[in-house]
Amino acid sequence: MAIDYAEIAAGALESIAEAGQPVTLHIPGTAGGGYGPGVGVVEDMPARDVTGIGALFGYKQTHIDGTNILHGDQRLLLAPQIEVEPVTGNTMTVGGVRYNVVRCERVAPAGIPVLYKVQLRGV
């Protein structure tokens, strides 16, 4: 029997929607005007916001090492249906609070995203 990862992703969305809340991923813009080899002039990319659904949790004390995970960091389980995968340098607003994206781990068996685990840190 083949595993239906699309169904697993839909189940993740349903579970996160029940326990989670709307989130907004803020993607900063980039200044263009430079030259990209093979592509010519690189155009400006305006900043944009993308919405999704996520469930926010604190880290257990045993996971806080003071280096990779700091006191106050939050873990966001993000539904895979978000339009863009978060990356370091983005910010996210969850529950009216803005956070920096520290790290994003894509859970993607067979290359199909079923969940994003995002480490957030206060701005």
How large is the average pLDDT for residues 2-12? 82
Show the tokens assigned to 53.
């659904």
User: Is 110 contained in some domain?
Assistant: yes
User: Is 65 contained in some domain?
Assistant: yes
Tell me which residue range forms the domain holding 77: 5-28+41-122
What percentage of the chain carries pLDDT values higher than 90? 59
User: Is 35 contained in some domain?
Assistant: no
User: Is 36 contained in some domain?
Assistant: no
Q: How many whole angstroms separate alpha carbon 98 and alpha carbon 17? A: 20
* Residue 86 pLDDT: 96
User: What is the CA 77 to chain-centroid distance, rounded?
Assistant: 8
User: Is 98 contained in some domain?
Assistant: yes
Structural domains in the chain (count): 1
Q: What confidence tens digit (pLDDT) does each residue in 38-69 have? A: 777 767 778 999 999 999 999 999 999 999 99
Mean pLDDT, the chain, rounded, equals 89
* Residue 57 pLDDT: 95
Is 22 in contact with 55 (CB distance < 8 Å)?
Answer: no
CATH number at residue 69: 2.40.10.270
pTM across the whole model? 0.81
The alpha carbons of the chain give a radius of gyration, in whole angstroms, of 17
